[in-house]
Structures are given as C-alpha cells and as structure tokens.
C-alpha cells in the first residue's frame, strides 16, 4: 500500500533503504532516498548530535547534489566545511 504522505517512510520502506541513503549511516538516521527527504534532513539538522553534524552536513550536500536540491543554509554549509572524511 502506498503512503498517503510521500515524504513519510513506513518502517518497512526504511528497513529496505541501503545505509548509503542515510545522513548518519552508522545509526541509520536522517534518511534521504529522495529530494523531499533531503529537505527534511536539512530542516531537522539542528537535532543531530553535535559530534555528527559535520558528517551529516557533508552527506546532505552530497544527496542534495544527487537530487538537484539547493541548500542555502549557512549553518549546514559551515558544518560541511568542517568535515574531514
């Protein structure tokens, strides 16, 4: 059965996502399988653990590029500059 809200993943859909579709792959947080979820990850960025923010910002920018999403948040751009992956 399809979701009524396209930006809300079911538990099953979330389980099926590869780790590479998550902003924080190790903990499978901040899923970003599409443009709507990239925007959601950007909106919820402030809730990420402080020590993971540079990784998450970096991954948001990667996924944003993949899905054609423009990220203008100075906070995310600054954290992405801190990433040393």
Model confidence over 6-49: pLDDT tens digits?
568 999 999 999 999 999 999 999 999 999 999 999 999 999 99
Quote the pLDDT of residue 79.
Answer: 98
Q: SS3 letters for 15-52?
A: HHCCHHHEEECCCCEEECCCHHHHHHHHHCHHHCCHHH
Tokens, residue 85: 């992956």
Which helix (H) or strand (E) element contains residue 74?
Answer: helix 74-82
Q: Are 21 and 15 in contact (CB under 8 A)?
A: no
The residues, any chain, with a CB within 8 Å of residue 62's CB and separated by 6 or more, are none
Quote the pLDDT of residue 17.
Answer: 96
pTM: 0.89
């Amino acid at each position: 059965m399809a979701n009524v809200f396209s930006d809300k993943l079911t538990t099953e859909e979330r389980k099926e996502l590869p780790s590479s579709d998550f902003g924080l792959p190790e903990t499978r947080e901040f899923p970003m399988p599409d443009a709507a979820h990239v925007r959601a990850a950007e909106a919820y960025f402030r809730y990420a653990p402080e020590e993971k923010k540079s990784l998450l910002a970096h991954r948001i920018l990667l996924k944003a590029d993949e899905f054609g999403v423009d990220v203008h948040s100075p906070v995310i751009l600054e954290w992405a500059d801190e990433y040393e992956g």
